[in-house]
Amino acid sequence: MILVFGKTGQVATELQRQANVTALGRDDADLSDPDACAAAIAAHRPDVVINAAAYTAVDAAEENEEHATIINAKAPGAMASTCADLGIPFVHVSTDYVFDGSGTKPWQETDMTAPLNAYGRSKLAGEQAISLSGGQWAVLRTSWVFSAHGGNFVKSMLRLAESRDHLTIVADQVGGPTPAADIAATLLTMAQAMQGGQRGGLYHYGGQPHVSWADFARAIFATAGRSVTVEDIPTSGYPTPAQRPANSRLDGAKLLADFGIAPPDWQKGLARVLQELA
């Protein structure tokens, strides 16, 4: 049995679509109570655990870092420790926000972390807690997640297109949009391989080709047949409480070598998502 933390989020929703999993929502296991998460694992005695839940309100985390850290670090640490005690694999989703976004080279797993914001710090603390659990674990860092459900950039752009024909979008942040469906499939493949004895570790998984937010918006409108012009602006033209990394590119070579999983084509994923929304 696969136990999934998360029920309504983008990746958790896709996990439930793709496999027979037991998904725990907030009412079943509140991540703000790490002991309750550990107890849920002990009660269910699953074959593998996937944590697809997190505090993802990046700007709000600036004012709520302690709460974000409980959900993004202490809870996953408790999950990983319990899995280690029970001898079962633990798979967890993390983020490119653990990096400072410098340069233009895709980030590798061995690169130095230096998060720019509270959300990134909380997710990095989670990775560190998991790595100290002593069990069999895997952390999948990903970026720019989108799907037909939940809140994400694709749905925001389509909503804005209903009332506007001209938008200003940040063009100096570059990364890989990643379909939640592909992330879910990757997590399930990793979980199955780890049940079979495959070693885990830290991995990167981001969509290709790399693109700016502005060019991603243009692709969304073109694919959806919306007549919206996009004007490039710098990050400074769209200030937010939390600083965002300029370079969110992720190098997926290690995941391909160890699990045979190639980076997803976000353009194909976008077409599928838009078809579902239509």
The length of the chain, given as a count of residues: 278
Task: Find tokens 């999948």 and name the residue.
Answer: 140
In degrees rounded to 5, what are phi and psi of residue 230?
Answer: -115, 125
The active-site residue, picked from 119, 203, 205, 238, is: 119
Beta strands 201-204; 48-51: pairing state = unpaired
**Known catalytic residue at 119:** yes
Instruction: Name, in order, each residue with C-beta under 8 angstroms of 119's C-beta and a sequence gap of 6 or more.
Output: 55, 56, 57, 58, 61, 68, 72, 95, 97, 242
Q: Output DSSP code: residue 178.
A: E
Beta strands 145-146; 90-95: pairing state = unpaired
Q: Output DSSP code: residue 242.
A: S
Tally of CB atoms within 10 A around 159? 10
User: Shortest CA distance to 145 belongs to which of 154, 158, 157, 156?
Assistant: 154
Q: How far is residue 171's CA from residue 234's CA, in Å, rounded to a whole number? A: 6
The angle at the Cα of 22, spanning 29 to 38, to the nearest 5 degrees, equals 35
Tally of CB atoms within 10 A around 228? 18
236 three-state secondary structure = helix
Residue numbers annotated as active site: 119
